[in-house]
Amino acid sequence: MSTPATPALPGQPGDEAGPVFREPWEAQAFALAVELSAAGHFTWNEWAETLGAEIKAAQAAGDPDLGDTYYHHWLAALERLTAEKGLVVPDDRRSRRDAWEQAYRDTPHGRPVELKKRP
């Protein structure tokens, strides 16, 4: 089994084996970017440029960027690039996010959380 090559990016938290995640969503966001690139929806360079721009913008807005917000920028870049590439419409993304939140609120603890209806 091989995993797609994931060139290390400057500032990415990690150790000698690769990236390290603080929370599950970080790994999911990481995997989405890697898989979208592997599937040819954007190049890894395009990804790095978008991420770099997000990090710069966040720094300009006052984020000390100590690594703990790295995946916040990663997610922002993912949202931006999927919109720019026409993969996901931002409005769809926002309504889906709210639908998931509602699904969690409506689901008893311990039961699988599922969306009621697909918009």
- Span interacting with another protein, options 16-24, 47-55, 56-64, rule CB under 8 A: 16-24
Question: What is the Cα–Cα distance from 90 to 101, expressed in whole angstroms?
Answer: 17
23 binds another protein (CB under 8 A): yes
- Span interacting with another protein, options 45-53, 55-63, 89-97, rule CB under 8 A: 89-97
84 binds another protein (CB under 8 A): no
63 binds another protein (CB under 8 A): no
109 binds another protein (CB under 8 A): yes
Q: Please report, for residues 25, 51, 57, 76, 109, the alpha-carbon distance to residue 9 in angstroms, rounded to integers and kept in the order given.
A: 19, 10, 17, 16, 38
Rounded to a whole number of angstroms, the minimum distance from the CB of residue 59 to another protein is: 19
Query: Which residues neighbour 22 within 8 Å (Cβ) at sequence distance 6 or greater?
Result: 13, 68, 71
Give 17 or 60: the residue with its C-beta nearer to another protein.
17
Residue whose pair of structure tokens reads 């898989």 in the numeric block: 35
